[in-house]
Amino acid sequence: MTAGARPRGVYSMYKSTRVSRLHVIRDAWMDASTLGRERTRIPAGSQTLCGQHAWGTLKAPATVLDPLPAAPPQGLTWCPTCLGLLAERLGVLDRVGRWLTDLRWPTPPEQGSRE
């Protein structure tokens, strides 16, 4: 990541009457080679890390959040794919993995119980 570059987010009503995910925009500082695929013809800033388009349509304009907020706006949740890929790009994926394994996991119910 280049100095001063901040991730941006986007959500759109495209093909849905209900928006639920906040995606992370793939910007120029994210080289196409880090996406795990061949160089793409899609310009930076017009696609999200998970592959969704980040442009609006005539009936559903995209809403860009610049910079990416610390928490999604009310009614939205993070796109899990975008968030995981962003953690990898920022070099904190191992730290996130360790944090997840340190969580208290609920004990699974015993076999045959009807909970």
pLDDT tens digits, 10-65 = 776 555 556 688 888 887 655 545 555 555 556 667 788 888 887 877 777 788 88
CA distance 85 to 42: 18
How many domains does the chain fold into? 1
Retrieve residue 95's tokens.
């730290």
Residue 65 lies in a domain: yes
Residue 107 lies in a domain: no
CA distance 94 to 99: 9
Residue 103 lies in a domain: no
Q: Domain of residue 18: give its range.
A: 9-93
Residue 28 lies in a domain: yes
CA distance 5 to 12: 23
pTM above 0.85, yes or no: no
Residue 106 lies in a domain: no
Residue 108 lies in a domain: no
pLDDT digits (tens, 9 = 90+) for 70-114: 999 888 899 999 999 999 988 999 999 999 889 887 887 777 656
Cα 94 vs. chain centroid, distance in angstroms? 17
Residue 110 lies in a domain: no
